[in-house]
Structure 1
Amino acid sequence: MSVKTYTVTGMTCGHCVSSVKEEVGEVAGVAGVDVDLATGRLDVTGDGVSDDAVRQAVEEAGYKIAAT
């Protein structure tokens, strides 16, 4: 298993965190999701997780992944 880290912008509350966790958790290959509201950090644990799929899931939740 590997861990990929992203920065999510636009989250302001616990509901935001829950929405991101729920959407990203449904991405194929994802085994775990950890979101830190204060830093916007999103850690995704899994195998063969697509960056594009994670980005799409975050956008589905209503947020953006910061450009790297």
Structure 2
Amino acid sequence: MQTVTLKVEGMSCGHCVNSVEGAVKKLGASGKVDLSGGSVTVDFDESKVSLDAIKEAIEEQGYDVAK
């Protein structure tokens, strides 16, 4: 298992939290959003899902993942 914290811009409410955490969960990972900090901490198995796929899933929800 690998844990990473990603800076995510554009999150401002509970719906944002649900969107981001749901997108990560669909990939088989778990995510915990820190709304006030503008970040999400993701635990994932790198043999099953890539970090790029996680970033892409978050961006597909309409948020920007800092590079």
Q: TM-score range by the shorter chain?
A: 0.7 to 0.9
Give, in angstroms, the shift of residue 53 of structure 1. 0.4
1:59 Cα deviation from its structure 2 partner = 1.1
> Partner of 1:64 in structure 2?
64
Equivalent position SS for 1:16: helix
Aligned length: 65
TM-score, normalised to structure 1, is 0.85
Alignment of 1:1-68 (within 5 A): 1-28=1-28, 30=29, 32-48=30-46, 49-67=49-67
Query: What residue ranges of structure 2 are gaps of 5+ in the alignment?
Result: none
Shift of 1:20: 0.4
- TM-score normalised to the size of structure 2? 0.86
Amino acid at match of 1:24: V
Q: Matched residues, percent identical? A: 45
Q: Which runs of 4+ in 1 moved over 2 A?
A: none
Per-residue CA deviations over 1:2-60 (Å, capped at 9, x if unaligned) read: 211101000111110110000111124x1x21001001111111211412101111111
RMSD across aligned positions (CA): 1.2
